[in-house]
Structure 1
Amino acid sequence: MGVATYLTAATPPRLAVGGITVAIPVLAVDQLGDVALGGLLAAAALGPSIVAAPVAGAMLDRSRRPGVLLAAAGLVIATAYAIAAFLGPVPAWAVAIALLVAGAATPFVFGGLSSFVTERIPDERRAYAIDALAYNLGAVAGPAAVAAAAALGSARVATLLMAAAALLGALGTIPLRLRPVASDHDRGSMLGTIAAGFRHIATHRPLAIITASGTLSQFGSGGLAIAAVALAVARTGDAAEGAIIVTAFAVGGLLGALWNSARPSRMRPEVEMGLGFAATGAFTVIAAADLGPWWAVFAIGVSGVFTAGSAAAMLLIRKQQSPPALRSQVFTVGAGLRAAAAAAGAAVAGLAAGAGAEVLIVAIGVVWIASGAMLLAYPKGAPAIDGSAVSGATAPRS
């Protein structure tokens, strides 16, 4: 029951955020014939999350009713996407403001909700495997739902569908009945909580290492779409085949998440995270070899399989290495840094596209391998500071 309830709350808003970045550019072209405006509006929907992450985390850490904040964030996102669906009749500047507000609410339903998953699913390893599954389901189903809705209806219908998904997620948080993790005496001022969170992330070695590693991995992941398109053009002359490569990566991640949620690894989380990142990088590198028309699709698909287990391990370490009073902030800041790194990776890949598609693919693989190698610096035997066992097996499966 805990798993189904959590997935009902966590998957729809992540699906909505994943789909809106596809829906908005299509809507802008459909209504106004403006590709550039679509890109700017999509950036508006995601950009504020980077700045808002520490504030969102601190609010959740200090709140006596975190479930209300999560539900409110979902309602804000749903309302903003509903407004955005009427781009054209609604001026672009008003849509931009709505999407900026939605972007500021996004950290609540990403890292913020992740910080509470063990309150519903006591087995930590299974909890974060399920959370990784929610992320992967959203990443695959969001764009797919938009594509289907746009083809069968219109881009406006697709955008309204994303608003409905965000609303469903807001309603789904109610049965979670989330309670505050921190005690009353742990709550300080807002600025004090934010400062303490940044200090803990930067100076607590286990957390600093996995945050740096996870951020670097997303720098590589962010460039994959650009590299995939470049590779498709170089090999076949058809840029559309790049979408197949990116889809293979997403499907691989989903398959890995399904497997990991059914059979969570009992490996030490820092080892699982490091090996998973390195394996993703290795298969990305070999995807550059020209061994046939479907080789890159296969290799990149396999590389995606390893991302779910490593992501779940990273989330588990975040929880174990965070005091309850700072947990939500650690999660939201970590998610914000990864989002920023992905955006930077896409920008750098675009600028470096002239170096050649194969070089770009190999470089992305090397970045993944380097992020995995960073886990070699993780302190051996680092105890959990949240009171749980380092192994993560704290309770029977729910």
Structure 2
Amino acid sequence: MQTPLTRYLAAATLARVSDAGSGVGFVLLARATTGLSRPSLTGALLVTCLTAPHLLGPVLARRLDRARDGRVLIAVVCAVYGVCLIASTLALGRVSLWLVAVPAVLAGICGPLLTGGLSSRLSGMVPPGERSQRRALGFDSLSYGLSGTAGPALVAALASVTDARVSMLVLGACAVLAGVLVRTLPGGGGAVPAGEVPSVWHTLRLIVTTGPLRRVTYATMATALPGGAIAVIAVAYGDDLRVPPDTAALLTAAFGLGYLLGSLVVTARPLLGEPERLVTAMAALVGAGYVVSALAPGFAVALVAFTLLGALNAPLFTATLAARQRYSPAGARAQVFVSMAALKVGAASAGTAAAGAATGWGARPLLLTGAALIVATAGVMVLDRRGRPTGGPVLMMDDEARHAGSPSCEGQGR
């Protein structure tokens, strides 16, 4: 018999498989489509159409905070994402490129609700006890790990067996099926009164001015910077480890395997305790993991070290989810989840770009730089927190934020 958590895991994994695989899929599809004058540029453009609209995520998340039944909105968004992905896939090479880009942009706008938006609804689907809530977040972390590995792998496998267009159609179908499954999940409460839902601007201000949210946000971004560079660093590590680049790329797979294993551990044995302290402790451990990876004397040891590094990132991510859940006011929970996720994605993208520009340094200095950044951030969190006790969940907002959703501000942050 299926439990709500297993249904959630299935729905979230399917939705996020579609989201994680679509970027790779568009690149492969553009290369395989005849008649395109610049296939690489076309693929990059379509990936940008999927990723850039994530900046609008908080606007759609505000709708989710105000929704009477969040399942309906997320289910519709999943279906729209899948249909738009299918439309762009079928249109590429047959119509003008801007007609292909329009549904891709619409899919990109929907993307944040497949990730942070879906996570924000999880707390209402399980009992309120700390252990059950943290176990549910372990399932959520597991869905990210599964989809991050399975999405690109599914696209690559289907593209090699059939063709890239079929792989993209399958991803679209996964998103539609995810929407069907989301509709079967527990409701998780009714709508938040409009007067208690702040505007997007006030939610961003809330993240900055609320100590625990601010500290967890900059810790999340600091760990995402080197995290986004893992694939670049892994390939560059081949020179130091005296292995070919394609062999060194296996370090990325080891990192992903470690993340999956770590997610399974925090699902079986949930992290308990105050979330911000957990984030600080886990960030310090992740920083130590980068140091161990940088000091690996050979490829075999590096494989183990990258596996450990991935395993440490799973409880760190789970702790950040717990922090978002604990410190977000009910009227802005989806906006906080989506906004922090968007900042993390942006930091990871910046890390990828920075590592690509600095590969001449070598992999070991890049790993040690990432370690120094993360450990320093953990130290800053401790100093920032000193004299400012965290307390319990954020239940109150300042007067300005409290009235952000009043009729006079109704048009803000749609």
Contact persistence 1:23–1:158 (CA under 8 A): yes
Secondary structure of 1:47's aligned partner: helix
In structure 2, the partner of 1:346 is 352
TM alignment of 1:49-88, pairs within 5 A: 49=54, 51-86=55-90, 87-88=92-93
Aligned-partner residue type, residue 196 of structure 1: H
Kept in 1: contact 2:67–2:192 (CA 8 A): no
Residue 231 (structure 1) aligned to one of 220, 226, 237: 237
Matches for 1:64-213 after TM superposition, within 5 Å: 64-86=68-90, 87-122=92-127, 123-179=132-188, 182-184=191-193, 186-187=195-196, 192-213=198-219
Counterpart of 1:152 in structure 2: which amino acid?
A: V
Displacement of 1:27 after TM fit? 1.5
Structure 1 residues 160 and 372: CA distance shift in structure 2, 3 A: farther
Aligned AA (1:115): S
Q: Is the 8 A contact 1:115 1:331 kept in 2?
A: yes
Q: What is the match of residue 383 of structure 1?
A: 392
CA distance in structure 2 between the aligned counterparts of 1:199 and 1:180, rounded to whole angstroms? 26
Within 2, Cα distance between the matches of 1:327 and 1:277? 23
Structure 2, gaps ≥5 residues long: 397-414
- Name the SS for the 2:203 alignment partner: helix
Identical pairs, percent = 32
Question: Contact 1:71 / 1:173 at 8 angstroms: preserved in 2?
Answer: yes
- Paired letter, 1:85: T
Q: Which residue of 2 aligns with 1:48?
A: 53
**Equivalent residue letter for 1:382:** G
> How far apart, in 1, do the equivalents of 2:277 and 2:267 lie?
18
1:73-114 CA-partner distances (Å, limit 9, x unpaired): 101210122123232234433332222211111111111111
Letter in 2 for 1:385: V
The answer (yes or no) to whether the contact 2:19–2:114 under 8 Å persists in 1 is: no
In structure 2, do the counterparts of structure 1 residues 100 and 221 end up closer, same or farther at CA, with 3 Å as the change threshold? same
Structure 2 vs 1, CA of residues 383 and 267 (structure 1 numbering), >3 Å: closer, same or farther?
A: closer
Cα separation, 1, equivalents of 2:340 and 2:393? 18
Q: Which residue of 2 aligns with 1:222?
A: 228
Answer whether contact 1:128 1:315 (CA < 8 A) is retained: yes
Does 2:20 align with 1:21?
Answer: no
Match of 2:272 in 1: 266
Structure 1 residue 173 displacement after superposition = 0.9
How far did residue 180 of structure 1 move?
A: 5.0
Show CA shifts across 1:330-377 (max 9, x none).
Answer: 111011111111111111111112222221222223333334334323
CA distance in 1: counterparts of 2:87 and 2:380, whole angstroms? 43
Comparing 279-288 with 131-140, greater Cα deviation is found at: 279-288
Q: C-alpha displacement at 1:386, in angstroms?
A: 4.5
Q: Does 1:36 align with 2:41?
A: yes
Tell me how far apart the structure 2 counterparts of residues 134 and 351 of structure 1 sit (CA, whole Å). Answer: 31
Query: Structure 1 residues 247, 63: closer, same or farther in 2, change over 3 A?
Result: same
Q: Which runs of 5+ in 1 are unaligned?
A: 388-398
Runs of 4+ in 1 over 3 A off after TM superposition: 179-183, 185-188, 233-237, 370-375, 377-381
For residues 74 and 112 of structure 1, what CA distance do their matches in structure 2 show? 11
The structure with more radius of gyration: 2
Deviation at 1:329, TM superposition (A): 0.6
Aligned residues: 383
Residue 314 of structure 1: aligned partner:
320
Amino acid at match of 2:294: A
Matched, 1:304 2:313: no
Which whole-Å CA distance do the structure 2 matches of 1:109 and 1:178 have between them?
A: 17
Q: Which residue of 2 aligns with 1:390?
A: none
Three-state SS of the structure 2 residue aligned to 1:175 is coil
